[in-house]
């Protein structure tokens, strides 16, 4: 195909904004509104209504079309048969891979490795770009403190600092150094804002988030993405403070545009403009179009409120034409930055083949580094082939090529999947026997008819590896769960296998933190693999047999039971903080005792106040010793810094990776501050007996927070700092921030 010359406004010379302005000046109101409209495709076929819309300039973007020939034909019609020849944005949810599937984003967050996250996003972008996709609706950077919410699988977890670092990593991976370079696609930070705070973890539910909490917890990852140059941003389905995000002028204009200076495109979520009337904010689609346009939504995803009503709103003077022009300018600017005016067409032969060696190596490394060793009693792991005559591999997820890919993998190719069973058999070769029993048809099954065979296999084996968890379909959008324990009869399967008296290792594949209290004492080791993607098998085999040592750390706390939710490490102290001395268990209460306050602290009688596994937790096949935490100064002022250092040693007999974590507490603030906040982390690898010093530099700005006036501030005062391998480390020191001169 040849790219047409549609006029000087499309040429590569001159600043992009000027070129966009020159093109805008040629557009009719209907063509402008067309640029603000995204329609759904995805059938590898171009319906007449879509082709007619393209020719008339009524379409600015097409969603969900990934057949490259169809994409090229869509672009050809838009460029060669419309009046102004404006190319299309081709959008797709490329969440954690395209054909090659990487671990779910929550799993990638468990790697605590931003460089690796960037590589994962780059693999996804390159494969998607080869199909003609130039815009992904990722990263999702909603802070998620409720594992009942299905979309926690797409989230970076519960911590604003970790989420902010990974938001930048994703943006860099998708967009590269230049949006116009081959293999780069426009990223979209979503969902703005507070979506992860949906009531009861129910998808689409109301998010009741006070502004101070919004600014200090939920917004930092979005600010980091904006500062990193993210091209687009998507509104949330949920309402915040009584106003749905798609019509929230405070979020989209006051904060995003005016305060942060964001110049990219804001797109609605799927049909969320028309849904404003379902929320009860507006009486009809016309009012919905008005509210969204006034708030600052540039493009409507899969809906026709703009197409049907925006022109009349402009003509009646209800919406200023300047607002429309600003939106269209932003859309055109992204298209120019992507190089679409120079070459709207995709030549798949110009890209490396999908699932090439680099893609698979990245997927394998990500699956290795995202796995978290939660428990390992008596050195149950790693397994040693020389000491195993027979291994029982049991469970519904040991050989499930689709389910290991996880949620939101429209384009993932399960034929590329290497399952754990396949990889274990390959590793075993003729060194030991592998006896596989599925035991359950699905993770949800309550049929126990296969348990006798599983128990017999476990009894005859030297050790058993149980592959348990959730099928892919049980997490993700619109897949929230009220009970987040192991579904079906899995806990009973664990108990039956445990009765054999042989070592039992549980490998959990899931899209969220699960409540594991009913099995945690029934197994010798737990390796939490999330949904690890295409290369789950080789990665887990390497971990189980000690080729690699686990190094993942939890990006979200694991509750003991669902009634503890929300439970997160960076909670507030309250006026009555719990302690081991104040906690009373429900079984210890004297039934004849009078009603007492039980020490008047914040805990649950039946669960205490601690999670089953805390944020930042993750074991290794070696041990790491932290000593000599110190600061280079005891106090510093604005414009200066304090360096907090620690010595870390590998005291075991295996080389391994560790994530060193820095936490800080601001003891007194204009608003109350969390008991701990992650302020830095470093992934390192140490050989046996190797010791190193790790340092973190903190400046006054790193200690800033939003106060009662909703302004970012730093306050003089005393701070505590801790460094260790999880959020519960007790190795600490202190420093002071003093007033400047």
Residue 12: pLDDT band with limits 50, 70, 90: very low
Q: Among residues 269, 298, 399, 666, which one is catalytic?
A: 269
Peptide bond between residue 643 and the one before it cis (omega within 30 degrees of 0) = no
DSSP string, 90-141: EEE--SSBSSSBPPPHHHHHHTT-HHHHHHHHHHHHHHHHTTT--EE---B-
Buried b or exposed e, range 505-537, using 16+ CB within 10 angstroms: bbbbbbbbbbbbeebbebbbbbbbbbbbbbbbb
628 and 729 share one domain: yes
**Judging by DSSP bridges, how do beta strands 635-637 and 732-738 pair with one another?**
parallel
530 and 671 share one domain: no
Read off the CATH number of the domain in which 463 is found: 3.40.50.1700
Buried b or exposed e, range 704-739, using 16+ CB within 10 angstroms: ebbbeeeeeebbeeebebbbbbbbbbeeebebebee
For 66-91, how does the pLDDT look when each residue is reduced to its tens digit (9 = 90+)? 999 999 999 999 999 999 999 999 99
Residue 347, domain member (yes or no): no
Per the CB < 8 A criterion, the answer to whether 117 and 174 are in contact is no
Residue 9 pLDDT exceeds 80: no
Separation of alpha carbons 85 and 23, rounded Å? 10
Please indicate, yes or no, whether the overall pTM of this predicted structure exceeds 0.95: yes
Residue 517, domain member (yes or no): yes
- Helices 16-24 and 321-337: crossing angle in degrees, nearest 10, is 130
> What average pLDDT score do residues 356-372 get?
98
405 and 498 share one domain: yes
Separation of alpha carbons 222 and 232, rounded Å? 11
Residue 44: pLDDT band with limits 50, 70, 90: confident
Question: How many Cα atoms occupy the beta-carbon half-sphere of 647 within 13 Å?
Answer: 7
Number of domains into which the chain is organized:
4
Residue 352: is it exposed, middle or buried by C-beta count within 10 angstroms (0-12/13-18/19+)? middle
Residue 209, domain member (yes or no): no
Phi/psi of residue 325, each to 5°?
A: -60, -40
pLDDT at 595: 74
Question: Pick from 528, 544, 560: which residue ends a domain?
Answer: 544
All residues at 6 or more sequence positions from 218 whose CB lies less than 8 Å from its CB, including other chains:
142, 143, 160, 193, 194, 196, 197, 209
pLDDT at 7: 35
For 159-193, how does the pLDDT look when each residue is reduced to its tens digit (9 = 90+)? 999 999 999 999 999 999 999 999 999 999 999 99
Backbone dihedral region for residue 87 (phi beyond 0: left; psi -120 to 50: alpha; all else: beta): beta
598 and 493 share one domain: no
Residue 307 is inside which H or E element, if any?
helix 305-315
Nearest Cα neighbor of 339 from 188, 233, 181 is 181
Residue 598 pLDDT exceeds 80: no
Question: Pick from 581, 610, 639: which residue ends a domain?
Answer: 610
Helix, strand or coil, per DSSP, at residue 77: helix
Residue 366: is it exposed, middle or buried by C-beta count within 10 angstroms (0-12/13-18/19+)? buried
Residue 422, domain member (yes or no): yes
Active site residue 269: yes
Q: How far is CA 468 from the centre of its chain?
A: 22
Residue 562 pLDDT exceeds 90: yes
645 and 694 share one domain: yes
Residue 107, domain member (yes or no): no
Instruction: Please tell me what DSSP assigns to residue 299.
Output: B
Over its C-alpha atoms, the chain yields an Rg (Å, rounded) of 27
Question: Pick from 493, 527, 544: which residue ends a domain?
Answer: 544
**Judging by DSSP bridges, how do beta strands 135-136 and 89-92 pair with one another?**
parallel
712 and 667 share one domain: yes
CA distances from 513 to 229, 236, 290, 565 (A): 31, 23, 40, 11
589 and 467 share one domain: no
> What average pLDDT score do residues 346-373 get?
98
Separation of alpha carbons 16 and 339, rounded Å? 10
Read off the CATH number of the domain in which 639 is found: 2.60.40.10
Separation of alpha carbons 618 and 568, rounded Å? 16
Nearest Cα neighbor of 29 from 348, 362, 314, 382 is 314
601 and 631 share one domain: no
> What average pLDDT score do residues 355-360 get?
98
CA angle (180 as vertex; 326, 306 as ends), nearest 5: 30
Cβ count near 316 (within 10 Å): 9
Supply the mean pLDDT for the chain: 96
Residue 8 pLDDT exceeds 80: no
434 and 484 share one domain: yes
403 and 500 share one domain: yes
508 and 640 share one domain: no
For 644-691, how does the pLDDT look when each residue is reduced to its tens digit (9 = 90+)? 999 999 999 999 999 999 999 999 999 999 999 999 999 999 999 999
> Domain limits at 314?
1-86+304-337
479 and 584 share one domain: no
For 464-479, how does the pLDDT look when each residue is reduced to its tens digit (9 = 90+)? 999 999 999 999 999 9
Residue 350, domain member (yes or no): no
> What average pLDDT score do residues 109-117 get?
98
For 214-268, how does the pLDDT look when each residue is reduced to its tens digit (9 = 90+)? 999 999 999 999 999 999 999 999 999 999 999 999 999 999 999 999 999 999 9
Separation of alpha carbons 701 and 510, rounded Å? 37
Residue 726, domain member (yes or no): yes
Residue 203, domain member (yes or no): no
Separation of alpha carbons 115 and 173, rounded Å? 9
């Amino acid at each position: 195909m040849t790219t047409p010359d549609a006029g000087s406004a499309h040429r590569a010379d001159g600043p992009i904004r000027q070129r966009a302005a020159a093109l805008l000046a040629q557009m009719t109101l209907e063509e402008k509104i067309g640029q603000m409209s995204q329609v759904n495709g995805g059938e590898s076929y171009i319906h007449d209504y879509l082709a007619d819309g393209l020719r008339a300039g009524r379409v600015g973007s097409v969603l969900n079309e990934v057949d490259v020939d169809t994409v090229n034909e869509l672009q050809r019609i838009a460029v060669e048969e419309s009046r102004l020849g404006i190319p299309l944005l081709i959008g797709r949810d490329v969440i954690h891979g395209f054909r090659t599937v990487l671990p779910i984003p929550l799993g990638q967050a468990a790697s605590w490795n931003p460089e690796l996250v960037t590589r994962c996003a780059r693999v996804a972008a390159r494969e998607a770009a080869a199909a003609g996709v130039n815009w992904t609706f990722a990263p999702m950077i909603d802070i998620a403190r409720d594992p009942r919410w299905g979309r926690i699988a797409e989230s970076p977890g519960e911590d604003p600092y970790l989420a902010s670092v990974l938001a930048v990593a994703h943006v860099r991976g998708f967009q590269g150094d230049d949006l116009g370079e081959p293999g780069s696609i426009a990223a979209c930070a979503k969902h703005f804002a507070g979506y992860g705070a949906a009531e009861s973890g129910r998808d689409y539910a109301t998010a009741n988030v006070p502004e101070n909490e919004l600014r200090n917890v939920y917004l930092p990852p979005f600010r980091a993405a904006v500062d990193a140059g993210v091209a687009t941003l998507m509104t949330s389905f949920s309402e915040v403070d009584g106003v749905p995000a798609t019509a929230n002028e405070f979020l989209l204009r006051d904060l995003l545009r005016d305060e942060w200076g964001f110049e990219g495109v804001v797109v609605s979520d799927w049909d969320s403009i028309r849904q404003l009337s379902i929320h009860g904010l507006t009486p009809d689609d016309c009012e919905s179009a008005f509210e969204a346009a006034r708030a600052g939504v540039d493009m409507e995803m899969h809906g026709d409120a703009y197409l049907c009503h925006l022109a009349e709103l402009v003509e009646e003077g209800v919406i200023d034409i300047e607002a429309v022009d600003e939106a269209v300018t932003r859309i055109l600017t992204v298209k120019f930055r992507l190089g679409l005016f120079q070459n709207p067409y995709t030549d798949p032969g110009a890209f490396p083949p999908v699932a090439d060696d680099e893609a698979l190596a990245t997927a394998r490394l990500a699956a290795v580094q995202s796995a978290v060793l939660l428990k390992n009693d008596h050195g149950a792991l790693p397994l040693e082939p020389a000491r195993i005559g027979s291994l029982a591999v049991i469970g519904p997820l040991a050989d499930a090529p689709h389910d290991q890919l996880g949620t939101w993998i429209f384009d993932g190719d399960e034929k590329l999947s290497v399952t754990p069973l396949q990889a274990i058999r390959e590793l075993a070769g003729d060194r030991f026997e592998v006896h596989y029993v599925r035991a359950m048809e699905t993770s949800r099954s309550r049929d126990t008819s296969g348990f006798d065979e599983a128990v017999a296999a476990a009894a005859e084996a030297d050790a058993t590896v149980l592959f348990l968890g959730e099928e892919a379909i049980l997490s993700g959008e619109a897949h929230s769960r009220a009970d987040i324990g192991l579904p079906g009869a899995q806990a009973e399967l664990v108990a039956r296998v445990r009765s054999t008296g042989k070592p039992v290792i549980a490998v959990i594949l899931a899209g969220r933190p699960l409540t594991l209290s009913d099995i945690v004492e029934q197994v010798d080791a737990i390796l939490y693999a999330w949904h690890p993607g295409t290369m789950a098998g080789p990665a887990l085999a390497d971990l189980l047999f000690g080729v690699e040592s686990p190094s993942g750390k939890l990006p979200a706390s694991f509750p003991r039971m669902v009634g503890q939710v929300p439970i997160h490490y960076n909670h507030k102290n309250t006026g009555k903080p719990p302690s081991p001395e104040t906690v009373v268990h429900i079984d210890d209460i004297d039934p004849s005792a009078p009603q007492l306050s039980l020490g008047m602290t914040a805990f649950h009688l039946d669960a205490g106040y601690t999670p089953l596994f805390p944020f930042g937790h993750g074991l290794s096949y070696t041990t790491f010793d932290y000593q000599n935490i110190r600061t280079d100064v005891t106090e510093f002022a604005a414009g200066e810094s304090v360096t907090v250092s620690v010595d870390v040693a590998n005291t075991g007999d295996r080389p391994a990776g560790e994530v060193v974590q820095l936490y800080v507490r601001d003891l007194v603030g204009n608003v109350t501050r969390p008991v701990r906040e992650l302020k830095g982390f470093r992934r390192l690898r140490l050989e046996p007996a190797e010791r190193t010093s790790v340092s973190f530099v903190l400046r006054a700005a790193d200690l800033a927070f939003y106060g009662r006036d909703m302004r970012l501030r730093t306050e003089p005062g005393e701070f505590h700092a801790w460094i260790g391998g999880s959020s519960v480390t007790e190795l600490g020191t202190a420093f002071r921030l003093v007033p400047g001169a």
